[in-house]
Amino acid sequence: MTNAKVTHIQGLQFIGTASSGHAIVMDTNPEVGGYNTASKPMELLLLGIGGCSGMDVVSILKKKKQDLTGFEVNVKGEQAEDYPKKFTAINLEFVVRGRNISEDAVRKAIDLSMNKYCSVKATLEGVAKISFSYKIVSE
């Protein structure tokens, strides 16, 4: 089981500590009582899906002996205007950099992540429309 504890610091600033022992600061804009010192919780959701899927894709591409020189996931989320302002759409753009990268390997790695392995994507599925694309940059 995964656990987390969120502790109030001041204003609307919190420290979240996961069962792994790692901590992260959360905050919000000064207009609503924060200090703007850290990511907002909704930003952390986007970071979570980008990190989860990115770890999958890089791991799979390394197993497929792809010569990666760089990798990033650009994540964009659209939120509803009315409260609770949940994400209605999330788009992930995978940017794979490397030498002689197989497009088929990239496509399969992303498909495996999005449809089998990424638990964050699976958790958000049905809540927000999740789409993805990729580009390969030869170096």
Q: What digits encode the pLDDT tens for the residues 92-113?
A: 999 999 999 999 999 999 999 9
More confident residue, 96 or 2: 96
Q: What is the pLDDT of residue 21?
A: 96
Structure tokens at 108: 């399969």
List the CATH code of the domain at 41-138: 3.30.300.20
Residues contacting 54, CB < 8 A, separation 6+? 71, 72, 73, 94
Query: Domain 1-38 maps to which CATH number in 2.20.25, 3.30.70, 3.40.720, 2.60.40?
Result: 2.20.25
- pTM of the predicted structure, to 2 decimals: 0.94
Residues contacting 135, CB < 8 A, separation 6+? 93, 94, 95, 96
Q: What is the pLDDT of residue 100?
A: 97
- Domain ranges in the chain are 1-38, 41-138
1-38 and 41-138 share one CATH topology? no
